[in-house]
Amino acid sequence: MTDNEQSRRYELVVVMPVYNEDACIADVVSSWQRVLERLAIDYLLIVLNDGSRDGTELRLRNFYFNERINVINKENSGHGPTILMGYHLAVEKANWVFQVDSDDELKPDSFFELWQRRASHDALFGFRVGRNQPVSRRVISSISRYVVSLAFGKGVLDVNIPYRLMCTNVLKDIIASIPSHSFAPNIMISGALVAQHKRVYNHPVVHENRKTGTVSIVSWRLWNAAFRSFGQTIAFKMNLQK
């Protein structure tokens, strides 16, 4: 990367964490690039391969020489820390940051609406509609909303959704207070935005169940991770009050 590329300021940086998505990652990256190109803006898509053990890295090699896509292959650290790493890179490069997962469950179609509304908001979130998930995940999602509502207040309908457009000036200060090992930093960010009375917009986004790959966390580990996340969120809230 040249000095000019390092100092370049984009209108938008998209953060996309990836883990074991070799069956769909090439199509997902390409579909997002097509949508972003139609907006005719200066953007960068950062794809963070979190130590995938399948053929994800091989698929991503097709994008190595694409000036709009920055592929980062890293050791596995988990979804949350990988998102945070992407955020810290993005806030130094762009005016707006968008985060989306790579499992193809949330399509690019709704992004245009968020982008068009950005001028009057600090953060613009999707909220999933048509989502068909196991009972355990529905319960955990409900608890997450309750925890954020109780600790921070109401304002974000889907507190952990990986479909969020945020102003860099707002996001940069928030992530500076989030520990790098946090399991679900997006929940903390949602809470901080509400607590700081930022202008948040919620927009419906159609959710489709994954057709490829595997869920990275299942069964009892999901509950263990959820309680860990809740504890970290409360600790984050207490730190904000200091």
Other residues' Cβ atoms within 10 Å of the Cβ of residue 20: 20
pLDDT at 48: 98
State the burial class of residue 134 (Cβ atoms within 10 Å of its Cβ: 0-12, 13-18, 19+). Answer: exposed
Q: b/e per residue, 73-96, with b = 16+ CB within 10 A? A: eeeebbbbbbbbbbbbbbbebbeb
Which residues lie below 8 Å from residue 78, measured CB to CB, with a gap of 6+?
50, 183
pLDDT at 149: 86
pLDDT at 76: 97
| Sheet of 200-206, strand order | 69-74, 43-50, 10-18, 94-100, 163-167, 123-129, 200-206
**What is the pLDDT of the chain when averaged over all its residues?**
90
Q: What are phi and psi of 219, to 5 degrees?
A: 55, -140
Q: What's the pLDDT band for 52 if we cut at 50, 70, 90? A: very high
In the predicted model, is pLDDT for residue 34 greater than 70?
yes
Q: What is the pLDDT of residues 184-234, one digit of tens each?
A: 999 999 999 999 999 999 999 999 887 665 555 455 566 677 777 878 888
What are the tokens at 241? 């009050």
CATH code of 159's domain:
3.90.550.10
CA distance 30 to 28: 5
Q: Of 107, 149, 97, which Cα lies nearest the Cα of 129? A: 107
Q: Of 9, 2, 19, 182, which Cα lies nearest the Cα of 90? A: 9
Q: Which domain holds residue 101?
A: 3-240
Q: What are phi and psi of 128, to 5 degrees?
A: -75, 130
User: What's the first-to-final CA gap in the chain, in angstroms?
Assistant: 40
Q: Structural domain tally of the chain?
A: 1
User: pLDDT above 70 covers what percent of the chain?
Assistant: 88
Q: What does each C-alpha distance from 92 to 4, 14, 123, 137, 172 come to in angstroms? A: 14, 13, 17, 34, 9
- pTM greater than 0.95 (yes/no): no
Which residues lie below 8 Å from residue 103, measured CB to CB, with a gap of 6+?
21, 24, 28, 210, 212, 213
Annotate 128-176 with DSSP letters as a single string: EES----HHHHHHHHHHHHHHHHHT-S--SSTT-SEEEEEHHHHHHHHT
Q: What is the pLDDT of residues 144-181, one digit of tens each?
A: 888 888 889 999 999 999 999 999 999 999 999 999 99
Q: What is the pLDDT of residues 70-122, one digit of tens each?
A: 999 999 999 999 999 999 999 999 999 999 999 999 999 999 999 999 999 99
In the predicted model, is pLDDT for residue 51 greater than 80?
yes
Q: Of 163, 139, 157, which Cα lies nearest the Cα of 16? A: 163
pLDDT at 135: 63
In the predicted model, is pLDDT for residue 132 greater than 80?
no
